[in-house]
Structures are given as structure tokens and as C-alpha cells.
Structure 1
Amino acid sequence: MTINYRKVAIVGCGFVGSATAFALMQSGLFSEIVMLDADMAKAEGEALDISHGVPFSKPCDIHAGDYDDVADSSIIIVTAGAAQKPGETRLDLIKKNVGIFKSIIPEISKRNFKGILLIVANPVDILTYAAKQLSGLPDNRVFGSGTVLDSARLRFNLSEHLGVDPRSIHAFIIGEHGDSEFAAWSSANVSGVEISRFCEMRGYFHDHDVAKDNIADEVKNAAYDIISKKRATYYGVAMATKRICEAIIRDEKSILPVSSIQHGRFGLNDVSLSIPVIVGKDGIESEIPFSLNDEEMKKLRESAKTLKEVIKSCDLDVSEE
């Protein structure tokens, strides 16, 4: 089947799926957006509502559909899953959402899908691994939104602290998109200037480590804070998903910390987590020589261990190292 590079599908029309469709409608990246949901009326209503904004944007056919309608999509974005509740960790969602994926992913793969499967539902690392196992698609074409949003939150918080444009900040959150994630401070910089040195330039001469720890904790707890206030997060992740789609559709070769299956990098195997990679029209195109110090390596391995322990409880035929 020929891929339609101007077509995207979104499976799941809850807060995240609908916000993503709205962001993509405004982006002009696609001329067709297909929305799927277990509740067809919900998909139809969201598609109709978003369609009414098309006269203020660029031409785009936005409609509800079924799995037969999405087989030729360039990207299928899966946001379907149970919502994270106040007080509930992302990993608490695992068994419910793996069960949902066991009904969704085979429906996609049986239609000889040739595009990219982008997982956005939580817990995204576990569900990315599940999608790979259930779909049989090549690793480069199955990946998750990972810590793209977390890294954006880090850059935003740093920009507030340092009084500088967040687009000039280069810093990543890596590992799990969740409680074991961490900031890779050893490689963080502001347009080539090391973070601690830039802090001093801004008048912060002491307690750099304390400030960095506080900022990293704010990033890690951002979702919990938002959920406690408004019950869900969706605008930020919708923008992160749009950014990933831009990198794919425009073949940008952008470096993004998406969640991908690991095969030996940093000694990690049979787990999906976020380390920066190059993303383009073929999905994940290559790794980059990303460096970590000893403390960060320890945190990454601990994050991977946490995820692997959960994976083993999910009946996904995980191979042993």
C-alpha cells in the first residue's frame, strides 16, 4: 500500500488525542486527519468541532474513521488509554493500557501499515515496547513521545530561571517518561555555554546543584501538579507530538529524546526509554554519540531496570539479557 505523506491518523479522541488533532490542524502539516475512538460518536464530534477551525487555518479534511481508513497514513498516533488519575503514577496504568493496546495494535498491523507508529499514551515507554512486540514493525518505525515534553518543560523552567529564550537552551530529560527520569546536566548548555557558567553570568554564584535539583524535581512532578489542578495534561503533549510529526514529515533530521527500543546502547537491551536520536522521514534514523557522566549512567541503568521489571509483568514475551 502506498503511503499518503499528507495523511495522519489519531487513535483515541480523549483530551490528548483531540488536543493533538487541533494542534496538527493548525500546523498545516497534513491535508487529511482521521480520528478513531471506541466511541464513534465522540470521534465524529471532535472531528466536526475541529473542522470548524479550518477556515482560519489551511485546507484539511478532518473526519472520523475506522482502521481501514488509516492504513495508508504516514503516521498513526496512538493516544488511546485509561487516563492518569490524581495520585496515580504512570506505571499504575500499565495493565489496563497494555490490554487496550492488545486490541488496537493488531488491527493496525493486519492492514499492512507502512508508516510510522507514534505512541503517546501513558506509560509511554511500556506501551512503546508493547506496540513493537504486538505490531512486528521495524524498531525505527515504532517509537514513543518519550521525554520530548519533559525536555521542553526543563528548557522552559531553565529559561524562567536564567531569563533567556528557551529555544537557546539545549538540555534533555532522559530515561523513563516518569518517576525515574532525570536531567542530563553534564551535556546541558545555553548556546554552547555550560549551564553553571551561564548561571554565574546571570548572578547566581552559589548553590548551582540545589537550583538544578529543584528544577529537575519541578519537571518530574509537573504532570502530577497539573493533574491535581485540572485532572489531565494535554496541551503540552499535543505540542510535543506536533513537533515530532514535523521532524518526520519535513525530514528534518532533528535530535529528539523519543522513547525507542534499546539494543546495547549504554549496555541496555530489551527496554524502551528516551535517549536523544535523529528523527526524520524514516522515523528513528540513527543514534548520536550522547555522553553521560558516571552518576547519570547509574541513573539511566536504574531507570531501565525499573521499566524492565514492569515489562516482565505484562506478558509481552520479553527476552532475557
Structure 2
Amino acid sequence: MLHPHTIGIVGTGQVGMAAAYALFQQRIANELILIDRDRARAEGEAMDLMHAQGYVGRRRVRAGDYADLARAQIIIVTAGVAQRPGESRLELLQRNVAVFREIAEQLDRHAPEALLLIASNPVDLLTYAMEQLSSRPRHRVIGTGTMLDTTRLRTLLAEHFQVDPRSVHALILGEHGDSEFAVWSQANIGGTPIRGHTILGKRCDQSCRDALLAKVRGAAGSIIERKGYTNWAIGLVIAHLVRTIQEDQGSVLPVTTRLDGAYGLHDICLSIPVRVGIEGAGAPLPLPLDDEERAALAHSAEVLRGFIDGLGLD
């Protein structure tokens, strides 16, 4: 029987452990099972987290094998080769698909009913790969998509207008990468549209919006240039996504999922607003995009589709 508070994490690198820390610290998981090719590393990370129980309450964190994931309701996949400075997410693809073949085989054997959250990059293509490689229903494989990009945009807009980021309603959709785009037609602060309006004495015109989107697109590269990797924000994104699923919130989030007709797109994985709950990815939200945004979404799909044929997944 699946246990809703048993969470598996495949990959104990920077992203995997940022997610583990967030889940542990926020008391989202009662049991965390860490899987890594380097068993000693997974054991060390588990021991380190376990020593903080005095501050968060009784929680079990342990290293394990794939067979130990049989009870896990949710399994987070962060494994893969690391992104190099200056390397695009798409360039990671071929090196990571081979890793995913092995993971999919093991997860199908030992945890066929678990819901999979994919956070490895390039996330859209690896979510597609996992859906193809795994025998579980497609709606039970979700990528973190543009959730991170979306919170980056909301944070930047909040700084510009000097408001709480939680009062900013704006989305980044499409590829989690260079072809992503902002849905400016729907962006607002407390219900007031950002485009064409003065909010609290400030405006964000076209040049302002272009600059903010450029910062969002370049954020990962800027961080990697300075510290070698990104981890803390995506760890919090993963924890939020896990809580959304556990509590069956039905939240609408920009996650990576398979499109089969929505927005006129078929057989492609990228981020659109989707209802997320205990069963995984539900129905997409029919967001009224303007013509420019629809073209940007189609472009994102075209960029990603250019790599799918070379995956050898049929």
C-alpha cells in the first residue's frame, strides 16, 4: 500500500538535497528515501538530515535501493549529469536520456503506482522521455516545468512595484529554457493589469517587460556562472508541488505535462497551466492567450519537437 508521506528522491545532488531539506524542514514528508549510485553519499546525506529531528519532530530519512520505494506515493527524480557552465538545458538531453532509461526500468519494477516528479534538465524533454519509457499513465509523470521561472518573474515584478510577490499574478509558459515566454496579457497585481496601467505610481512598459523576461531566461546561467549550479529555489518549488499533490489541492500550476490537443498542440511536453492534485496532472486551464503569446507557445513546441525525433523512444 502506498504511504502518502513516504517520498522517494532519486539523485542526491544539489537539487535532490535542496528538495529533501525543504520537505524535511517543512514537515511535508514523514519518511524520505534517498537513492543514488553513490550509496555512501546518500547515507551521509540521510544521517546529516536525521540529526535535525530535535527541531522538526520525528522524521525518518534513509538511504535505500529502488526496492525500498514500493510504498512511496511520490518519487522525485533529480538524477542526471550536471549542467556545465554555458551549456544549455537542451544540450544535456542525450547524456541524460540514457540515465532515465535505467531509472524508468527500476521504478516500473519496484514502484509502478507512484507519481513521478521530474526535476532533471532539460525537464520538458526528460518528462517526455520518462512518459515514453515508463508504463505508468502519463498524467502520473509531471515535470517541474516553468514553476521556477514563474516565481522568478513574480519576484522581479514584486521588486519593481515594491509589493509582496504573492500579490503578483504572472506566468511563464512553454519550454523551461530559452524559448519560454511571459503571459503579459494576463499579468496583474492585485487584479490590476500590469500592461498599460500605472500601479502604485509605477509602470512597466515594453522595455521594462522585455528586460524582466531576459533576466528570467538568463537567471540559471547567471547563477551557474557564480556558484556552479542552481538548487535552493527549485528545492522549494519541488516541496510546494509535493504538498499540492499530497493535499489534493487542485492548484493550477505551470508544470510540464503532455499536450494532446490543448492550445492546438499534440504529443509534446511543455508547461501550460494545469490542475494538479492527488492523481497527478489533470485538465489544462484554457488560458486566453493573445496572438503573440499563442505564437510563442507554438514556437516553444517547435523547438522541443526538433529534439524529440532524435531520442529514439518509439
TM over 0.5: yes
User: How many Å apart are 1:81 and its aligned residue?
Assistant: 0.4
Q: Deviations over 1:109-150 (max 9, x none)?
A: 122521211000000000000110011211211010000010
In structure 2, the residue corresponding to 1:110 is in which secondary structure?
helix
Question: Residue type matched to 1:216 in 2?
Answer: L
Aligned to 1:266: 263
Aligned to 2:308: 311
Aligned to 1:250: 247
In structure 1, the residue corresponding to 2:75 is in which secondary structure?
strand
Question: Residue type matched to 1:218 in 2?
Answer: K
Question: Residue type matched to 2:140 in 1?
Answer: R
Whether 1:140 aligns to 2:139 is yes
Gaps spanning 5+ residues in structure 1: where?
Answer: none
Q: 1:212, 1:258 → 2: CA distance?
A: 23
Aligned to 1:15: 14
1:124 and 1:145 in contact (8 A); partners too: yes
Aligned to 1:221: 218
Aligned to 1:176: 175
Q: 2:192, 2:33 → 1: CA distance?
A: 44
Aligned to 1:105: 104
Question: Residue type matched to 1:51 in 2?
Answer: M
Whether 1:301 aligns to 2:298 is yes
Structure 1 residues 88-237: aligned runs within 5 Å: 88-196=87-195, 200-205=198-203, 208-237=205-234
Aligned to 2:55: 56
Normalising by structure 2, we get a TM-score of 0.98
Aligned to 1:81: 80
Q: 1:105, 1:259 → 2: CA distance?
A: 18
2:196 and 2:205 in contact (8 A); partners too: no
In structure 1, the residue corresponding to 2:7 is in which secondary structure?
strand
Aligned to 2:281: 284
In structure 2, the residue corresponding to 1:97 is in which secondary structure?
helix
Question: Residue type matched to 1:92 in 2?
Answer: E
Question: Residue type matched to 2:293 in 1?
Answer: E
1:174 and 1:184 in contact (8 A); partners too: yes
1:278 and 1:285 in contact (8 A); partners too: yes
Q: 2:166, 2:12 → 1: CA distance?
A: 30
Question: Residue type matched to 2:95 in 1?
Answer: K
Q: 1:273, 1:135 → 2: CA distance?
A: 18
Q: Deviations over 1:195-244 (max 9, x none)?
A: 1355x133335x60110110011011000000000000000100000110
In structure 2, the residue corresponding to 1:260 is in which secondary structure?
strand
User: How many Å apart are 1:311 and its aligned residue?
Assistant: 1.2
Normalising by structure 1, we get a TM-score of 0.96
Q: 1:74, 1:27 → 2: CA distance?
A: 18
Question: Residue type matched to 1:211 in 2?
Answer: C
1:72 and 1:114 in contact (8 A); partners too: no
Q: Deviations over 1:292-318 (max 9, x none)?
A: 11001111011001101111111112x
Aligned residues: CA RMSD: 1.1
Gaps spanning 5+ residues in structure 2: where?
Answer: none
In structure 2, the residue corresponding to 1:277 is in which secondary structure?
strand
